[in-house]
Amino acid sequence: MNKTFYITTPIYYPSDKLHIGHSYTTVAADALARYKRFCGYDVMFLTGTDEHGQKIQRKAEAKGVTPQQYVDQIVSGIKELWQLLDISYDRFIRTTDAAHEAAIQAIFQKLYDKGDIYKSEYEGWYCTPCESFWTETQLNDGQCPDCGRPVEKTREESYFFRLSKYQQQLIDLFEQNPDFIQPPSRANEMLNNFLRPGLDDLCVSRTTFNWGVPVPFDPKHVVYVWIDALSNYITALGYPDEEGVFARYWPADIHLVGKEIVRFHTIIWPAMLMALDLPLPKQVFGHGWLLFRDGKMSKSRGNVIDPVVLCERYGVDAIRYFLLREVPFGSDGNFSNEALIGRINADLANDLGNLVSRTSAMITRYFPDGLPDQRQAADPDQELIDLSRQLPDKVDAGMGQLQFSQALSEIWRVIGRSNKYIDETTPWILARSPEMAPRLASVLFNLAEAIRIVSILLQPFMTATPARIWAALGLADASLTDWASARTFGLYRATAPLRSEPVFPRLDLDKELASLDALLAADASVAKKPEPETVPVPAEIAFDDFQKVALRIGRVLSCEKVKGSDKLLCSQIDMGGQIRQILSGIAESYKPEEMPGRLVVVVTNLKPRKIRGLMSEGMLLCATRADGSCRLLTVDEAVEPGSEIS
């Protein structure tokens, strides 16, 4: 039986169509899965979608459809995207699958029966878009520390997972298994920021919405994302049945995740597996972000890039190549139109495309009946031959470290040396002398053979281009393009007519940048519009509930910026004989000197709380514009401070 290899991507949240950042993770996983298959492994490649939660329920309600109808439509688009990008996943799991939901209930029951889940009450701050709970001290200027959006005060009965019970075991895991989390910087972050300071138990159920898997013994609760989503890696293999497919592939060889969810995969997930008495995954690799202009791509910023637009214009292989070559995997990297067009022109059109076209055309022109067996070697040959022979091992080394960019760089080193070899050997001059035909044949054979090896090793990264190269060189015999044949230099022979069509045509940089900017701007216009998730739609309340909110007019007496914060202003407000101090996150829209004298609307019966060490005794009401700026709600000058709003 072949050695197994189990690789996973995160399961993506289908609140909207995916962007190029999601494609980055999945294309990387696909390249590694393909590589392992070529190396003879029995591969299981899993991806899928995380479809439950309050955010999905609210979005569905806003569109007037059921949550299932909403996610079905989005998931259909995700599958179409993966088909477009030629993603070779073996299984696609949805957390709404009946088998997954049944498995989640079994897992929850097992953890409860073991005493690792208990009922209590949760009170804290909740970010709906991120589906994350935060303590007061974790908030950033009163906003979600991950996405910067508003949080909601939540208090509800919940079940908790005893995460704190596994703190020392997790520390031991990190310290005794340095390869468990990669790159190493991610491990240091988890140890220093979360594990050593101490873990709190984890809220694992919700009662404020019902779009989720019901807790089997308490159906008013639904299982929260940590157990529901993370467990997909084992439920996709048939767990809780620990035989068959599960026994064959678990534990996972590698979980590929973005760095923003490393904490969930290296702290919460291993602790759950420890509680279930299951083996841990061998490695979690947290790659960096694709950054766009002013930061991480996100729908709320309106800076997402639609991979469909790029693939339709430049072809799937060009986009796959760019994603895997441009940035060392594990680090953050910048996406720009200039970088994309530059890679296509320099690497694909000039280097690879030109090499293939020139070699194919010269063989066809100078030896229309095929390359003769009589060949004459010379000094420049050996360096190209040696580099070509060493290439499979160098690709293996890069892929073994998940350094896709390094592996591709080694392939392009052979491509670059081949182009230089053409300049050194000047085959067009050799062709002028019939007596130099053996030397010319040797030069063209070496070029064709180097390209043959390159094309074979490109298969995990660029799925359509190798076949086009084989057609250009007349490589119709499958034994000549078998993965193992890349380790033998000297096999090239054309068994079909050569077709010297351009593999990658060169692009007009200025014209292409203008067209691409226009295409992406048009596509992003929808994303730049305010989405329901930006301002969560609250549940309906009764009129009696609304009457509990006390609104009064206040006059700003003085205002200053809060030290250490870019967003907060601290205002002293006359409420009609009473002075209140109120902190508000409006510093990006108002200067402190603009505030005194303004009549503002104040929520006066909000429980006081400390923000940045300062007590805030109310809230100023604002309206948020489409660009994210805010404007204070004000009234006519004739209204006295302290006047009640009714």
Q: Which residues pair with 600 in a beta bridge?
A: 554, 634
Contact 232, 47 (CB under 8 A): no
Give the separation between CA 327 and CA 91, rounded to whole angstroms.
Answer: 28
**Residue type for 17, please?**
K
Confidence band for 638, pLDDT divided at 50, 70 and 90? low
Both tokens assigned to 241: 């049945």
Q: Helix, strand or coil for residue 599?
A: strand
Greater pLDDT, 499 or 546: 499
pLDDT of residue 643: 83
Instruction: Point out which residues pair with 623 in neighbouring strands.
Output: 631
pLDDT at residue 543 in the model: 66
Write the DSSP assignment of 8-31 as a string of letters: EEEEE-TTS---HHHHHHHHHHHH
Check if the beta carbon of residue 37 is closer than 8 Å to that of residue 76.
Answer: no
Q: Please say if the pLDDT value at position 535 is more than 70.
A: no
In terms of pLDDT, which residue wins out, 581 or 270? 270
pLDDT attached to residue 139: 85
Task: Give me the long-range contacts of 463-467 (CB less than 8 A, separation at least 24).
Answer: 463/34, 463/86, 463/316, 463/317, 463/320, 464/86, 464/315, 464/316, 464/317, 465/317, 465/352, 465/503
Q: What is the pLDDT of residue 500?
A: 75
Please, how many CA atoms are within 13 Å of residue 585, restricted to the half-sphere of its CB?
A: 16
- Return the pLDDT at 79: 95
Higher pLDDT, 545 or 405: 405
CA 630 and chain centroid, separation: 30
526: pLDDT confidence band, cut at 50, 70 and 90?
very low
528 pLDDT band, cuts 50/70/90, is: very low
Mean pLDDT, residues 41-49: 98
Is a pLDDT exceeding 90 seen at residue 327? no
CB atoms within 10 A of CB 579: 12
556: which residues sit within 8 A by CB, 6+ positions away?
571, 572, 573, 574, 595, 596, 597, 598, 600
Confidence of residue 588 (pLDDT cuts 50, 70, 90): confident
For residue 471, pLDDT beyond 60: yes
Residue 537 above 80 pLDDT?
A: no
Q: What's the mean per-residue pLDDT of the chain?
A: 89
Is the pLDDT assigned to residue 628 strictly greater than 70? no
Query: What is the pLDDT confidence band of residue 532, given thresholds at 50, 70 and 90?
Result: very low
**DSSP 8-state code for residue 628:** S
Tell me how far apart the alpha carbons of residues 177 and 173 are, in angstroms, rounded to a whole number: 6
Quick one: average pLDDT of 487-513?
A: 91
Amino acid 282: pLDDT: 98
Mean pLDDT for the stretch of residues 480-486: 98
User: For residues 66 and 179, what is the distance between their CA atoms, to the nearest angstrom?
Assistant: 43
Q: Which of 299, 273, 439, 282 is CA-nearest to residue 372?
A: 439
Whether 452 has a pLDDT exceeding 80, the answer reads yes
Q: List the single range of 293-307, 480-494, 588-602 with lowest mean pLDDT.
A: 293-307
Q: Count other Cβ atoms within 10 Å, centred on residue 267.
A: 23
Structural domains of the chain ordered from first start: 336-487 (1.10.730.10), 543-632 (2.40.50.140)
Query: C-alpha distances in angstroms, 308 versus 20, 82, 291, 364, 517?
Result: 9, 10, 18, 37, 15
For the ranges 159-173, 409-423, 424-438, 541-555, which has the lowest average pLDDT?
541-555
Query: Residue type for 251, please?
Result: P
> For residue 277, is pLDDT > 70?
yes
Higher pLDDT: 17 or 600? It is: 600
pLDDT at 304: 55
User: Looking at residues 66-90, what average pLDDT do you find?
Assistant: 95
299 pLDDT above the threshold of 70: no
Report CA-CA distances (Å) from 540 to 110, 151, 537: 36, 18, 9
CA distance 288 to 290: 7
Label residue 533 by pLDDT band (50, 70, 90): very low
Q: Is 530 helix (H, G, I), strand (E, B) or coil?
A: coil
CA–CA distance, 258 with 20 (Å, rounded to integer): 13
- Tell me which of 131-135, 419-423, 434-438 is least confident: 131-135
Residue whose C-alpha is closest to residue 491's, from 435, 449, 434: 449
Task: Using alpha carbons, select from 34, 31, 87 the residue that is nearest to residue 406.
Answer: 31
pLDDT at 627: 57
Helix (H), strand (E), coil (C) string for 288-327:
CCEEECCEECCHHHCCCCCHHHHHHHHCHHHHHHHHHHCC
What pLDDT is attached to residue 541? 63
Residue 370: CB atoms within 10 Å: 14
Per-residue pLDDT reduced to its tens digit, 103-141: 999 999 999 999 999 999 888 888 877 777 777 777 888
pLDDT in tens, 22-32: 899 999 999 99
What tokens appear for 407 in the block?
């592996």
What is d(CA 39, CA 636) in angstroms, rounded to the nearest whole number? Answer: 75
Positive/negative CA dihedral, 87, 324, 73, 108: positive
The pLDDT of residue 548 is 77
3-state secondary structure 487-520: HCCCCCCCCCCCCCCCCCCCCCHHHHHHHHHHHH
pLDDT in tens, 544-561: 667 778 888 888 888 888
Cα–chain center distance at 417 = 34
Per-residue pLDDT band for 563 (boundaries 50, 70, 90) equals confident
Task: Please tell me the distance from the alpha carbon of residue 289 to that of residue 22, in angstroms, as a whole number.
Answer: 10
pLDDT grade for 293, boundaries at 50, 70 and 90:
low
Torsion of CA 27, 32, 33, 37, to 10 degrees: 140
What is the structure's pLDDT at 623?
85
Nearest-angstrom CA–CA distance, 252 and 46: 10
| Pairwise CA distance, residues 236 & 259, whole Å | 23
